[in-house]
Chains A and B, each alone.
Chain A
Amino acid sequence: MMYFSRLKTWTVLGVCLAGLLLCVPNIAPSPAGWIPWRTIHLGLDLRGGSYLLLEVDMNTVMKERLDSLGDGARQALRRAGVQRFVVSVQQPQRRLAVRVSDDGKQDAAMAALRELATTAAPGQRADLEFSTLPDGQIAITLSPLALKERAASAVAQSIEIVRRRIDGSGVTEPVIARQGDSRIIVQLPGIEDPNRIKELLGKTARMTFRLTDETANVTGAPPPGVDFLPLEGKGNQKVAVRRRVEVDGGNLTDARAGQNSQNGEWVVNFTFDQLGTRRFAEISRANVGHPFAIVLDDKVISAPVIREPITGGKGQISGSFTAASATDLAVLLRAGALPAPLTVVEERSVGPELGADAIRAGAIALAVGFVLVMVFMALFYGLFGWFANLALVVNLVMLAGVMSLLEATLTLPGMAGILLTLGMAVDANILVNERIREEVRNGRSPLNAMEVGFQRAFSTIIDSNATAFLSHVMLFAFGAGPVRGFAITITVGIATSMFTATMLARLFMVRWYISTRPTSLPV
């Protein structure tokens, strides 16, 4: 144990140097793009910012799928010549129930409905299961697998749109990631009040252009195919809007906030893509003199009258906008619609000054703890204690180096983790020193005592660190948020301390022994 070959010596020193070099990116800017420049990230609890956990509403995803399946079923049945039928959505059972009342058309209806499954995306397994219910209705059930796939794609799509919306809002360095099956994590550094972002994300922002029904009486029950939707900013006023979507917000290529040159009112200018331009031209040509409705999330934001055919693919939405609301609507329209509503299920935001306070408190505690541990080691273990202290400093550097390499996040509990790591790291040195001392008392020569001391203490060091390591790996696996920062500093700290306490401190002792050749050990 006490023999260090030249290679081994240089390897140990090389590893320490590498740890030091890995820390450099944290204090210096990157000199060139090709050098990997990894740094420790500060958690939001330390730098200030907001953390939002969003949940994609899977019920809506399923409902929309069932609704569109219902439309498809009705069309298919009509095409097959079935006249009397009722299609109902049974959401809890994830299915559509179809009652066919035409005699002898059951088989034809079933055959027509089966077509629905084969028209699903090619290459996928059939996403529908067909069966006949006891009361003779045909049940079309969404298969759980297909539903899961749809949910996964809804989450992926939502993440993309959340990213675009947040980028459009001007927040710098946001982190947007998926969590679990239906959740999205959004981290917004430096945003103390996430209200505006929450509002941006809280809207599905599905914009549709539809025709209105001028004959309908909005006080009564809506006629089939027509919805009574509230007019934004006009209290209880409702507009009779046809369900049929003429042009969808998905056909927009651009949307910008601007001011009307005549009255200075805030407006949103938009541009359609090719398909949208063509569709909008057709509709406006056929409906000159009639109003149409611009509907956003089941609210009519504007219902202007078409004065002349609009063929240029450009349009303007005016309503009761302010500068901010026009800008936000433009961001929403550019980013596109969410496939399902998002709800905020967890929110944590910390102001920058509170973060700064936390850093200060953590740093003071860290410094005081560090000094206390070092003084203790010096008082109780003398020279060997100082070797341990030196190894402890290197351990701190290596911990920072490895965390930079992993691009780990330092949180407030993480700072506590560093401190505990320091307290526990010297445990290995204490074990070794006590053992050496014992061996000296048993009458061994200095070199022999050191040799045997290290050897015997080694398996104990492994055992005791392994258990601590395992329990913190569990915490990392199951924990969430800042407490994972705690788990990561401790696990990394245990690993680096094993190296510094057994290899580096041993190297110091060997070099000291070779240069002084003591007749007795200072233990």
Chain B
Amino acid sequence: MFIRPLLRMAPDNLNFHYMRGRILGLAVSAVLSLASVGLFFYPGLSLGIDFAGGIIMEVRTPAAADIAAIRAELHAQGLRAEGVQRFGEENSVAIRLEAQPTEAATQKVVSKVRAAVEKAQPGTRVVRTDAVGASVSAELFRDGMYALGFSMLMILFYIWFRFEWQFAVGAVVTLLLDVTKAIGFLAITRLDFDLVMVGAILTILGYSTNDKVVVYDRMRENLRKYKTMPLRELIDLSINETLSRTLGTSMTVFLASLPLALFGGSTLSGFAWVMLFGIVVGTSSSIFIAAPILLFLGENRLRRDTKEAVVKPAE
């Protein structure tokens, strides 16, 4: 452990024919992504208050929380709470209210909730308030989507600039498949989709691209090295050569995210679960999706005009 490595991610001289499974891989991925798109429309994402607007207040009661009393008091104040739930510990309660028609109304509701919880259980303290008005949430949502869209574009252009177009298309199509699955995951788990989740999805995007770039880099190198090898074999060879690294990096990012999911607290654990899911999806898609797409797109092109493809300088 101190000098020599004890373990290997993948055996040396691995010779696995990934491209044989390309149809299966693409089919499974397409089905999962289609299902995710379906889930996106029904039941849809559970939007966090960043994007939906509304109010979340977390309160700590002096003794074990009396949820029924809090509900009754909120009701008495004429407030319709979407959820009043125990939140982690015995004396911790999260109250969520939907978006109010105007900003001023939102502020009134916040004050009312403060008064209501104090009345329901005297000594209760409001430890967190998030109140987002309708106009702000619409803007946050728009900006979140901009961030996602522009990231995809930047990635497309970067890969286009650095590789041949087949690689860029392969990468972006794969990323789209990855992102739709992440959205499906959000829809199934009912994790709140908010700005932090956009951060998670962007990280998955960046990470997944990174993974594809490494495999693509090797393919490009091998295209130069083995001028006559059929593209299919060449792709298999490249994946085998980079498998240790692909798995190794996935492991480290996975290991870094795992403690966040387990004890990162309420805000971060959702984020981390999405990350963990994204890492698994991103790693497998590098092998089973990005490579087959390249094979389809480049079968004749990347081989036929070898000169052009090969001579193109790397730097």
Once bound together, how far apart are the Cα atoms of A463 and B211, in whole Å?
A: 10
- Interface assignment of A195: CB less than 8 Å from any CB of chain B: yes
- Interface assignment of A304: CB less than 8 Å from any CB of chain B: no
Interface residues of B in 254-279 (CB under 8 A from A): 254-260, 262-265, 267-268, 271-272, 275
A474, B5: Cβ atoms closer than 8 Å:
no
B2, A383: Cβ atoms closer than 8 Å:
yes
Listed stretches B7-15, B22-30, B37-45; interface member: B7-15
- Interface assignment of B252: CB less than 8 Å from any CB of chain A: yes
B213, A460: Cβ atoms closer than 8 Å:
yes
- Decide: A413 near B127, CB < 8 A? Known: A345-B103, A372-B255, A423-B256: no
A472, B259: Cβ atoms closer than 8 Å:
no
Interface residues of A in 453-471 (CB under 8 A from B): 456, 459-460, 463-471
Once bound together, how far apart are the Cα atoms of A161 and B102, in whole Å?
A: 25
A368, B259: Cβ atoms closer than 8 Å:
yes
- Interface assignment of A478: CB less than 8 Å from any CB of chain B: yes
A357, B265: Cβ atoms closer than 8 Å:
yes
- Decide: A475 near B151, CB < 8 A? Known: A379-B1, A383-B2: yes
| Chain A residues, CB < 8 A from B104 | 343
Listed stretches B62-70, B75-83, B131-139, B184-192; interface member: B131-139
In-complex Cβ contact of B196 among A343, A353, A376, A413 (8 A): A413
Once bound together, how far apart are the Cα atoms of A372 and B211, in whole Å?
A: 21
Once bound together, how far apart are the Cα atoms of A229 and B5, in whole Å?
A: 84
| Chain B residues, CB < 8 A from A354 | 58, 127-128
- Interface assignment of A431: CB less than 8 Å from any CB of chain B: yes
Q: Mark A185-199, 1 if CB is under 8 A from B, else 0.
A: 000000011010010
Q: Mark A349-372, 1 if CB is under 8 A from B, else 0.
A: 111011001100110111011001
A471, B206: Cβ atoms closer than 8 Å:
yes
- Interface assignment of A282: CB less than 8 Å from any CB of chain B: no
| Chain A residues, CB < 8 A from B128 | 349-351, 354
- Interface assignment of B195: CB less than 8 Å from any CB of chain A: yes
B258, A369: Cβ atoms closer than 8 Å:
yes
Q: How far is the CB of B122 from chain A (nearest CB, A)?
A: 16
B248, A470: Cβ atoms closer than 8 Å:
no
A522, B5: Cβ atoms closer than 8 Å:
yes
Q: Which residue of B lies closest to A490 (CB)?
A: B203
- Decide: A483 near B198, CB < 8 A? Known: A195-B111, A362-B265, A380-B248: yes
| Chain B residues, CB < 8 A from A362 | 264-265, 268
- Decide: A416 near B159, CB < 8 A? Known: A376-B251, A383-B2, A434-B244: no
In-complex Cβ contact of A346 among B1, B136, B206, B241 (8 A): B136
A431, B214: Cβ atoms closer than 8 Å:
yes
| Chain B residues, CB < 8 A from A467 | 154-155, 158-159, 206, 209-210, 213
- Decide: A420 near B203, CB < 8 A? Known: A376-B255, A470-B151, A480-B143: yes
- Interface assignment of B311: CB less than 8 Å from any CB of chain A: no
- Decide: A358 near B267, CB < 8 A? Known: A348-B129, A474-B151, A475-B151: yes
B199, A372: Cβ atoms closer than 8 Å:
no
In-complex Cβ contact of B210 among A357, A380, A383, A468 (8 A): A468
- Interface assignment of B31: CB less than 8 Å from any CB of chain A: no
What total of chain A residues lie within 8 Å of the partner, measured CB to CB?
82
- Decide: A345 near B135, CB < 8 A? Known: A483-B195, A522-B5: yes
In-complex Cβ contact of A382 among B4, B127, B217, B272 (8 A): B4
B110, A480: Cβ atoms closer than 8 Å:
no
B213, A434: Cβ atoms closer than 8 Å:
no
| Chain A residues, CB < 8 A from B314 | 459
| Chain B residues, CB < 8 A from A441 | 12
- Interface assignment of B72: CB less than 8 Å from any CB of chain A: no
In-complex Cβ contact of B154 among A349, A361, A471 (8 A): A471
| Chain A residues, CB < 8 A from B135 | 55, 345
A377, B259: Cβ atoms closer than 8 Å:
no
| Chain A residues, CB < 8 A from B221 | 456
- Interface assignment of B205: CB less than 8 Å from any CB of chain A: yes
- Decide: A351 near B4, CB < 8 A? Known: A345-B103, A413-B196, A434-B248: no
Once bound together, how far apart are the Cα atoms of A134 and B56, in whole Å?
A: 53
- Interface assignment of A482: CB less than 8 Å from any CB of chain B: yes
| Chain B residues, CB < 8 A from A346 | 131-133, 136
- Interface assignment of B125: CB less than 8 Å from any CB of chain A: yes
| Chain A residues, CB < 8 A from B147 | 474-475, 477-479
Q: Mark B213-250, 1 if CB is under 8 A from A, else 0.
A: 11001100100000000000000000001101100110
| Chain B residues, CB < 8 A from A438 | 241
B111, A364: Cβ atoms closer than 8 Å:
no
A474, B202: Cβ atoms closer than 8 Å:
yes
| Chain A residues, CB < 8 A from B143 | 478-480
| Chain A residues, CB < 8 A from B297 | none
Q: Mark B282-298, 1 if CB is under 8 A from A, else 0.
A: 00000000000000000
Q: Mark A336-349, 1 if CB is under 8 A from B, else 0.
A: 00000001111111
Q: Which residue of B lies closest to A419 (CB)?
A: B256
B-to-A contact residues, CB < 8 Å: 1-9, 12, 58, 60, 103-104, 106-107, 110-111, 114, 125-133, 135-136, 140, 143-144, 146-147, 150-151, 154-155, 158-159, 162, 195-196, 198-199, 202-203, 205-207, 209-211, 213-214, 217-218, 221, 241-242, 244-245, 248-249, 251-260, 262-265, 267-268, 271-272, 275, 314-315
Ordered by A's residue number, 7 sampled pairs between the chains whose C-beta atoms are within 8 Å are: A344-B131, A346-B136, A347-B110, A369-B259, A380-B6, A416-B272, A420-B256
